[in-house]
């Protein structure tokens, strides 16, 4: 990782922490992933040689930058965010990072966007959004994730109670292997096996 990007990520970590401590309004919080989660995502993207990534929940773009750096030249990250003030923050951060050419921002409701995606469109999906909707999104997520690739879900330990329905669906789906990693706030890593 280039020094300038590492500095920007550090700045965003500090901003996210101070911003979130200063407000009780959840819609104004950044709710960023932890630094070690960013490194874990980068490791997974590089190890699987993923090139077409989808992120649901941009916030201020902190996690997006980890993904965009990891995907490398020729790769792309599509990231979805409904909140306009967060999209604007993220866009400025993407410009500062020098990685904006790898990032495609989408302003939409995630469920509606997922329904428009082609089968197997993405070879890595990172889910960090409204956990109450994950179960409803599962059929679309299954369809658009390419065989042999990963879906990673944040907050799988910190908000496990909100993911119970989703976890039951994943466990009941043939052709999926999952493991819960105690990194950051808990990362559920789901592999769509070949031919699933």
Q: What pairs with residue 190 in β-bridges?
A: 151, 178
31 sits in the region (left: phi over 0; alpha: psi -120 to 50; else beta) called left
Are 155 and 82 a contacting pair, CB within 8 Å? no
pLDDT band at 2 (very low <50, low <70, confident <90, very high): confident
158-162 contacts, C-beta under 8 A, 24 or more apart: 158/185, 158/186, 159/131, 159/185, 160/186, 162/131, 162/132
pLDDT tens digits for range 118-137: 999 999 999 999 899 999 99
> The CATH number of 3-192 is which of 3.10.20.600, 3.30.160.40, 2.40.290.10, 3.40.50.150?
3.40.50.150
Q: What are phi and psi of 31, to 5 degrees?
A: 55, 45
pLDDT tens digits, 132-173: 999 999 999 999 999 999 999 999 999 999 999 999 999 999
Q: What is the pLDDT of residues 4-45, one digit of tens each?
A: 888 987 887 777 677 767 778 777 766 778 899 999 999 999
- Check: CB of residue 45 under 8 Å from CB of residue 39: no
Tens of pLDDT, residue by residue over 49-104, are 999 999 999 988 999 999 999 999 999 999 999 888 888 888 998 989 999 999 99
Q: How far apart are CA 180 and CA 118, in angstroms?
A: 28
Instruction: Strands of 1-137 (E only): list them.
Output: 52-56, 76-80, 103-106, 122-127
Within the chain, strands assigned E span 52-56, 76-80, 103-106, 122-127, 145-153, 176-181, 187-192
């Amino acid at each position: 990782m280039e020094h300038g990007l590492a500095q920007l990520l550090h700045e965003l970590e500090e901003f996210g922490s101070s911003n979130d401590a200063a407000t009780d309004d959840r819609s104004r919080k950044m709710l960023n992933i932890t630094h070690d989660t960013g490194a874990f995502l980068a490791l997974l993207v590089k190890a699987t040689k993923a090139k077409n990534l989808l992120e649901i929940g941009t916030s201020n773009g902190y996690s997006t930058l980890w993904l965009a750096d990891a995907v490398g030249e020729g790769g792309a990250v599509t990231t979805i965010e409904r909140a306009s003030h967060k999209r604007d923050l993220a866009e400025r951060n993407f410009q500062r990072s020098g990685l904006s050419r790898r990032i495609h921002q989408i302003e939409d409701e995630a469920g509606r966007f997922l329904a428009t995606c082609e089968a197997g469109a993405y070879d890595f999906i990172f889910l960090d959004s409204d956990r109450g909707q994950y179960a409803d999104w599962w059929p679309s997520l299954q369809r658009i994730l390419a065989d042999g690739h990963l879906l990673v879900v944040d907050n799988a330990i910190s908000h496990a109670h909100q993911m119970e329905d989703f976890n039951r669906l994943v466990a009941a789906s043939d052709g999926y292997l999952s493991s819960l990693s105690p990194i950051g706030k808990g990362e559920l890593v789901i592999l769509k096996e070949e031919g699933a």
